[in-house]
Amino acid sequence: MDYPTIRLMPKAEARAIRHGFPWVYSDELVMDRRTRALAPGSLAVLEDTERRPLGLAAVNPLSRIVARVIDRDPEAEIDTAWFAARIGQASRLRERLYQQPFYRLVHAEADGLPGVVIDRFGDTAVVQPNAAWAELRLEALVEALRQVTGVGTVVKNGSGRVRGLEGLAEETLVLTGALEGPVPVPMNGATYMADLTGGQKTGLFYDQRPNHAFAAGLAQGARVLDVFAHVGGFALAALAAGAESALAVDGSEPALALAEAGARASGLDARFATRKGDAFDTLAALDAESAQFDLVICDPPAFAPSKKALDAGLRAYERVARLAATLVAPGGYLVLCSCSHAADLAKFRAASARGIGKAGRRGPIVYTGFAGPDHPVLPQLAESGYLKALAFRLTE
């Protein structure tokens, strides 16, 4: 293939690229007139300062991540067969892990498809092409996806902050097949209802599956509070495991309607209730009502989506912990989650402990959880290991 070339700046760390780091930032690349003229999503051979090839990269001069290494072979042809090989490798892993086809099928860089997320919901797949190179080659990607998995319906979810950083417009539509209403998803003994075109992200958060399962193990006979509940992730799993009752709190009425539909589909609706409202306000209101729960879970959105937002995000996590800790009955459990990659485990744990302490509570951490194995972590890329969950037993 006759690709143009791009070159690292002398200060850039070529060794990191050789060892598997997939990104090149805009201040690490020679941004001459020729490189700036490359169209977003173009492919180019990435070279070190000695003009030795490091691999084939997707280029976007509009993005801070100006190049993403997509293949170690600088002459690779990025066609349907190439996508099928990557998707096939990802699919074989998931088929070993799960008995039913409900999982994250492709987790971006960790599965060799930088900026691409694919979640599978039985016969339907939702694709998030969050990088310009994938957007340009979406037809080949979708054809490969159908060849490998046999799915009949493919949805493009072109929404979210990351696409904006790549200069891509928002667009969500059904590319192939047909979709009629929310899709039922069996997980952890419950049935969840996923809105694949109008819900958050791809419609369901598969990453929390193992943390749902752990929390459900604490829920036998318990009164459960699930805050930032979305479609009832923690609450429905807890009820399926024998919780006495579960209250789901979220600011989104459509999300709570899906949670209620999931409870009905699971036969759990008699023990399930919802409360719409701002999470912080609702936590304070429940405290004023002297409400007590044996298990409280808080799974907020990313309060620290970037390093710039880190300090404010950590304060928000601390506040959540403080408000939630007051609602935990003596000897009960508090599960706190963060999906902010900028807040690493140590910082998140410290913020959570501060909040619990400010509430006048104490107790050990009995569990530290992460995303499930369908969300593999690229060891060279810390951002791919974004999810943390901590379970505290509040003994005081």
Give pLDDT tens digits for 33-91.
999 999 999 999 999 999 999 999 999 999 999 999 999 999 999 999 999 999 999 99
Judgement on whether residues 136 and 281 belong to the same structural domain of the protein? no
Amino acid at 45: V
Q: Is the separation of the CB atoms in 227 and 298 below 8 Å?
A: yes
pLDDT top residue among 167 and 144:
144
Single out the residue in 39, 71, 103 at which a domain terminates. Answer: 71
Per-residue pLDDT at 161:
82
Residue 14, pLDDT > 80, answer: no
Chain segment 334-369, per-residue pLDDT in tens = 999 999 989 999 999 999 999 999 999 999 999 999
Structural domain boundaries, residue 99:
80-176
Single out the residue in 176, 209, 244 at which a domain terminates. Answer: 176
Chain centre distance of CA 220 = 28
Judgement on whether residues 53 and 120 belong to the same structural domain of the protein? no
CA atoms within 13 A on the CB side of 172: 15
Please give the Cα distance from 283 to 277 (Å, whole number): 10
Report the share of the chain in percent with pLDDT over 70. Answer: 100
Please give the Cα distance from 268 to 245 (Å, whole number): 9
Amino acid at 207: D
CATH code where residue 42 lies: 2.30.130.10
Domain count, the chain: 3
Judgement on whether residues 208 and 161 belong to the same structural domain of the protein? no
Quick one: which of 56, 111, 65, 53 has its CA closest to 87? Answer: 111
CATH code where residue 157 lies: 3.30.750.80
Per-residue pLDDT at 261:
98
Per-residue pLDDT at 216:
98
Q: Is the separation of the CB atoms in 301 and 336 below 8 Å?
A: no
Catalytic residue among 265, 268, 325, 339: 339
Judgement on whether residues 189 and 334 belong to the same structural domain of the protein? yes
Q: Is the separation of the CB atoms in 355 and 367 below 8 Å?
A: no
Per-residue pLDDT at 201:
74
**Confidence at 165, pLDDT banded by 50, 70, 90:** confident
Please give the Cα distance from 161 to 83 (Å, whole number): 25
Residue 160, pLDDT > 90, answer: no
Chain centre distance of CA 271 = 29
**Confidence at 383, pLDDT banded by 50, 70, 90:** confident
Judgement on whether residues 84 and 58 belong to the same structural domain of the protein? no
339 catalytically annotated: yes
CATH code where residue 274 lies: 3.40.50.150
Chain segment 318-335, per-residue pLDDT in tens = 999 999 999 999 999 999
pTM: 0.95
